[in-house]
Chains A and B, each alone.
Chain A
């Protein structure tokens, strides 16, 4: 918000600094990715000496990051807008289960996709309405939704794993366009759309304004309540897309699917430089955050290391990323003050 109220000459200066910060932060994550790949090459030279495997591995990492990546884009918007959405995993489960019931499958591919997206948006809208008009704290509202949506999903599915008999949906996960998996294209499209929406539209600017200082945003004439509703609906939409992607990958859906996706999405957004208190964040950074986690999973798998150690390393990386950012941010401001 400061950038928009400050005099023009300061504004350009600050904008440049802000840009540098963002680029630096993303470069840091690229550095982490490169280190992870180097560790992979050193520990498994036999695998990395095969170019076909390396290409295949790269695409696999991207593909395994695709569903959670789409969810993270929605989450990034919500967090920048000053909220949090703990219900994303539950929304995926509900949308996935709802779109794979026998009745929905009877409507064909279009019916399944429509159902997943509609359920995602509807649950997101309920979240948004509870938060902005019901005045619930986002943490509580979406926590309640987490429990309720998984409960409804278990109710609808009768606690069974629902297999998708729709070959078009199932083939989404195995289809490749120009040698790149369709799931990765979907992730790419969502990331580009998210970037444009955040950086090149009034909706995006309003999101930053609402998250930075809701009172100032309201005084500036932004309908903060309606905007908040839209942000959660957007997150719900991303979950709907993610539900289709995940259902396609697993060729089935169940109430326990997408377990703990909310934590992965929040963590990816945070290490990508999104401020948990809102008002700042980047889509590209969030994407790198997702890729770092996906690459760690891959690195631990090819080395046959236990998932317990993997989780510890993930935790350490989250802390390290935030510490490094804070440190750099502070030292940068001190440098400029001098």
Chain B
């Protein structure tokens, strides 16, 4: 009996010790690289002078992807940069229904403006209309509402333009190298999403103008491990390749790992979104990643700045109009080694 209890104490102690060690291991403070418009001093920019207090209600999906995380971080950081802005952030939950409920609560709190990145523009359309009817201007981030009366401002990235930018860069590079009949690979993200289809359409359209086409296309799921699996399959299918477009820099971590594991380097790769890791790799120039086309979460920072202007009834000072415009689509830019330094602060 005593031997048994000693054993129990030993195991129990080991378990408690392991548990203590493990909980110590969850601390995680990655560097904060939020994209903030620092031009918030009143002297340089009259619009930035503190004005009427604006309460901004904010809602974005609780997705576990770097880009969405950057959206939320940027919104919070930009709001903190203004002394006259109070950000009320509500978790959007796991799906459109949960977000509808969250925004209904938000509307009842009567914020000055609502900024939201909907799970799905179509499914949240009615909520947008409801808020607008309640007299709260709605700013739609990235996922458009079908109804014009559901939003005051829509600010989004350009998925089709991203495909065009990637296809144009690849086409120009291959033309410059005089490659005829190049073998081009493509690794999109979740294939059923409209944004993925738009990116692919843009990519194909741009390649067609050079007379090129995609040889093989293996979708991943915006995660690094799915990127690794998709890239491994693609590399196996194309023993020789000239160029590769990977739609998303987050899954690109896995794509680059797979390329290294397969010991391949005969091609060049273009990324998508413009993460900090990707921009660093492009600057260093020691991987196959030579460029990335942006789809920047900085739009969340801009959305907060514009929400403040809308809340205070101001326009954008460089434009003639006295009000903020209704639709803004960010241009997708191509980041290469030459301009990487300039974009480094916009990496997320």
Contacts and interface: CB of A to CB of B under 8 A. Distances in A.
Contacts of A64: 229, 232-233
Contact of A252 (B65, B233, B253): B253
Contact of B228 (A50, A103, A249, A259): A249
Interface residues of A, number: 55
A243 to B, nearest CB: 10
A239 to B, nearest CB: 14
Interface in B10-49: 18-19, 21-22, 24-30
Interface in B254-268: 254, 256-258, 260-263
A253 B237 CA distance: 26
Given A154-B62, A249-B261, A298-B233, A118 B22 contact: yes
A160 interface: yes
How would you classify the secondary structure of chain A's contact residues: helix, strand, loop or mixed? Answer: helix
B139 to A, nearest CB: 22
Nearest to A102: B28
A27 to B, nearest CB: 27
A79 B26 CA distance: 32
A161 B217 contact: no
Given A103-B28, A252-B224, A161 B234 contact: no
Interface in A264-321: 297-298, 301-304, 306-308
Interface residues of B, number: 50
Interface in B184-242: 191, 215-219, 221-229, 232-234, 236-237, 239
B328 interface: no
30 contacts: A63-B232, A102-B29, A115-B21, A156-B26, A159-B66, A161-B66, A161-B250, A163-B277, A174-B263, A246-B225, A249-B228, A250-B225, A250-B228, A250-B253, A251-B224, A251-B253, A253-B224, A254-B223, A254-B224, A256-B64, A256-B221, A257-B225, A258-B225, A259-B223, A298-B233, A301-B234, A303-B237, A304-B216, A304-B237, A308-B191
Interface of B: 18-19, 21-22, 24-30, 62-66, 68-69, 191, 215-219, 221-229, 232-234, 236-237, 239, 250, 253-254, 256-258, 260-263, 277
Interface of A: 47, 50, 53, 56-57, 60, 63-64, 98-99, 101-104, 107, 111, 115, 118-119, 122, 150, 153-154, 156-163, 170, 173-174, 246, 249-259, 297-298, 301-304, 306-308
